[in-house]
């Protein structure tokens, strides 16, 4: 490995575990990037917080390096078009746009969504790390209009517990997790 040189003296060491966390709640967000994935029929929507105390929450280097931490996937498969239309209605109501009308045409440029605002309800869910630890991460619990968020017309969900399909540690073939109460000793 190469040495870092004299500039290494000016680097402040990270103090482990002191990462800021976005609290669960309602936020006005701005759409920062949109990518259409036609083979899977969804839009990948990257967002950042647009107003209030947490404005620009994901604009730091960590947020730029971890876009998955602040993105949502809007499926436009036939079975999900009702949800896609609801998301677009939330964008339209927030920004006084007419994207739902444009979608009735023959083509739609999803890049037009960049810069638009939307209301998001952020919740927390549990997940299992590669090391088997249970942690929490944010997720978009609901897409709402900015007006609904501003008026407090939303509810913050409880922490979503680890799903039953994720409770077993399947990293060791042939072994499964058992309940301690089922043990004979």
Neighbours of 31 (CB within 10 A): 22
What are residue 172's phi and psi, to 5 degrees?
A: -115, 110
The pLDDT confidence band at residue 20, using thresholds 50, 70 and 90, is confident
Residue 173 lies in a domain: no
**What does the pLDDT read at residue 105?**
87
Question: Is the separation of the CB atoms in 154 and 171 below 8 Å?
Answer: no
Residue 48 lies in a domain: yes
Percentage with pLDDT > 90 across the chain: 72
Residue 5 lies in a domain: no
Q: How many domains does the chain fold into?
A: 1
What are the distances in angstroms from CA 181 to CA 132, 178, 184, 185? 21, 9, 8, 9
User: For 113-130, what is the mean pLDDT?
Assistant: 96
Question: Is the separation of the CB atoms in 118 and 90 below 8 Å?
Answer: yes
Range of the domain at 34: 22-166
Burial degree of 102 (CB within 10 A; 0-12, 13-18, 19+): middle
> What is the arrangement of strands in the sheet containing 25-37, beginning at the earlier edge strand?
71-75, 42-49, 25-37, 117-128, 134-144
Residue 111 lies in a domain: yes
* 121, pLDDT greater than 90: yes
Residue 185 lies in a domain: no
Rounded to 5, what percent of the chain is helix, strand, coil?
A: 30, 25, 45
* 15, pLDDT greater than 70: no
Residue 31 lies in a domain: yes
Q: What is the mean pLDDT of the chain?
A: 86
**What does the pLDDT read at residue 181?**
52
**What does the pLDDT read at residue 106?**
82
């Amino acid at each position: 490995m190469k040495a870092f040189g004299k500039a290494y003296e000016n680097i402040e060491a990270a103090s482990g575990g002191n990462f800021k966390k976005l609290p669960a709640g309602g936020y006005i967000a701005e759409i920062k990037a949109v990518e259409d994935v036609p083979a899977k029929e969804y839009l990948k929507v990257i967002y950042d917080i647009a107003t209030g105390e947490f404005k620009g929450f994901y604009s730091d280097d960590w947020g730029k390096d971890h876009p998955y931490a602040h993105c949502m996937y809007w499926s436009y498969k036939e079975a999900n078009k009702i949800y896609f239309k609801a998301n677009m209605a939330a964008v339209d109501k927030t920004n006084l746009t007419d994207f739902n009308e444009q979608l009735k045409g023959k083509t739609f440029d999803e890049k037009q969504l960049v810069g638009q605002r939307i209301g998001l309800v952020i919740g927390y869910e549990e997940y299992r790390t590669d090391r088997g630890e249970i942690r929490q991460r944010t997720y978009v619990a609901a897409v709402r209009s900015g007006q609904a968020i501003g008026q407090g017309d939303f509810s913050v969900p409880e922490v979503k517990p680890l799903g039953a399909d994720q409770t077993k540690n399947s990293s060791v073939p042939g072994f499964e997790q058992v309940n301690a109460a089922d043990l004979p000793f």
